[in-house]
């Protein structure tokens, strides 16, 4: 849907998430029918019956977490958190600090573009598993249920906004219908526009230095694996790619490609580092292929290790490698090398079980 707000989104300064969430909160604060629409979503997805909630924005918690929108029941209890996402990564507090502030029979909903639903859910799930929280996971519905009947789910902007609009139309709230159309137009434009407008800070040299350091990290991880006596690179050249850079090496019985891939970073997970593994040489002994046996069980290994895996158009599987944050380069290099060896070992253990 085109809208005036969507038309001029490239000129918007600051956080587009804040504009969308503040706009949604504005409508929820003024319309009971809009609030009923949100309640219907919660009922359908979480089987929770909420009375009419009151909504506030940016309510800072004890750990300085700041949810975009919070919904409170008649007793003043926070039972719903709506968190807006477009292309920004999760913050340090998400989702754990948000979950900790909720009591029983409540819900935390992340709202994001359609293309980000799976990556956002996978990152949320990874953090939940890392905290060893007791929960039930429904990956198909992008939802997790915790103790005390606390729900976490990921929804698209379209699902949320169109439901709200339907209820506004039913109650003939013409002014707010115009307002929701503006937000829908903004979100549709951001969702479909391949070009993210350049902000002044994007041109800072610090980003160039950061990207260059990623190229260096790839080389240094391969050097670390060679130093450990695990990787062998003879006759395998480093290769620039349209979306990054690749280093090839042999480790154990596998041919491995360590990728700096900006396209996968944008689409699948919050990391630029990816690895794909092949297990058989073609006839000329110079090119590796991924056998069907390995392909079938890459996701099994990824699930066991709690890492994301994506499939390319050629059906190759690529595993994410997540670098440590706020650590020195030597520690990051050592950890990435450990992730690779852990992955290779897990595949070697899995392969005999599937023959």
Predicted confidence at residue 6, as pLDDT, reads 47
Q: Look at the alpha carbons of 228, 233, 237, 240 in this order and tell me if their dihedral is positive or negative.
A: negative
Q: Is 337 left (phi over 0), alpha (psi -120 to 50) or beta?
A: alpha
Residue with tokens 């595993």: 319
Closest CA to 125 of 146, 107, 106, 104: 146
Closest CA to 102 of 83, 123, 129: 83
Predicted confidence at residue 241, as pLDDT, reads 82
Mean pLDDT of 179-207: 79
Residues 210, 6: Cα–Cα separation, whole Å: 31
Token pair in block for residue 155: 């929804």
Residues 310, 154: Cα–Cα separation, whole Å: 19
pLDDT at 285 over 60: no
Predicted confidence at residue 354, as pLDDT, reads 45
Q: Look at the alpha carbons of 320, 341, 280, 258 in this order and tell me if their dihedral is positive or negative.
A: positive
Strands 244-251, 254-261: parallel, antiparallel or unpaired by DSSP? antiparallel
Token pair in block for residue 275: 């690895």
When the pLDDT of each residue in the chain is averaged and rounded to a whole number, the result is 87
pLDDT at 1 over 60: no
DSSP letters, 184-204, are HHHHHHHHH-SPPPPPGGGG-
Domains delineated in the chain: 4-192 (no CATH), 204-353 (3.30.1460)
CB 233 within 8 A of CB 248: yes
24-82 per-position pLDDT tens digit: 999 999 999 999 999 999 999 999 999 999 999 988 777 777 899 999 999 999 999 99
231-247 per-position pLDDT tens digit: 999 888 888 788 899 99
Could you tell me which residue, 75 or 283, shows the higher pLDDT?
Answer: 75
pLDDT band with cut points at 50, 70 and 90 for residue 192? low
245-260 per-position pLDDT tens digit: 999 999 988 999 999 9
Composition of the chain by helix, strand, coil, percent to 5: 45, 20, 30
């Amino acid at each position: 849907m085109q809208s005036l707000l969507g038309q001029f989104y490239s000129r918007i300064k600051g956080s587009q998430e804040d504009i969308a969430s503040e706009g949604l909160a504005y409508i929820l604060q003024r319309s009971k029918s809009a609030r009923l629409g949100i309640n219907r979503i919660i009922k359908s997805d979480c089987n929770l019956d909420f009375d009419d909630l009151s909504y506030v924005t940016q309510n800072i918690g004890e750990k300085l977490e700041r949810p975009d929108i919070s919904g409170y029941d008649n007793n003043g209890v926070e039972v719903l958190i709506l968190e807006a996402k477009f292309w920004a990564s999760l913050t340090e507090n998400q989702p754990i600090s948000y979950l900790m502030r909720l009591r029983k029979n409540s819900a935390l909903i992340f709202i994001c573009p359609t293309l980000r639903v799976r990556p956002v859910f996978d990152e949320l799930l990874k953090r939940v598993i890392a905290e060893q929280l007791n929960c039930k996971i429904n990956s198909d519905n992008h939802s997790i249920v915790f103790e005390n009947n606390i729900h976490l789910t990921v929804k698209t902007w379209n699902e949320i906004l169109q439901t709200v609009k339907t209820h506004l139309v039913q109650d003939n709230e013409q002014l707010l219908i115009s307002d929701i159309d503006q937000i829908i137009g903004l979100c549709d434009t951001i969702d479909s526009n391949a070009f993210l407008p350049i902000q002044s800070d994007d041109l800072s040299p610090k980003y160039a230095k950061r990207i260059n350091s990623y190229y260096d990290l790839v080389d240094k991880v391969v050097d670390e694996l060679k130093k450990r006596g695990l990787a062998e690179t003879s006759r395998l050249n480093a290769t620039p790619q349209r979306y990054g850079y690749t280093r090839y090496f042999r480790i154990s019985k596998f041919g491995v490609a360590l990728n700096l891939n900006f396209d996968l970073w944008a689409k699948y997970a919050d990391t630029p580092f990816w690895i794909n593994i092949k297990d058989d040489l073609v006839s000329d002994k110079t090119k590796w292929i991924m056998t069907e046996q390995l392909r079938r069980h890459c996701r099994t290994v990824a699930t066991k290790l709690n890492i994301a895996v994506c499939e390319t158009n050629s059906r190759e599987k690529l595993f994410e490698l997540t670098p440590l944050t706020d650590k020195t380069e030597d520690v990051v290099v050592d950890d990435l090398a450990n992730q690779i060896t852990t992955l290779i070992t897990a595949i070697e253990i899995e392969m005999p079980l599937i023959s």
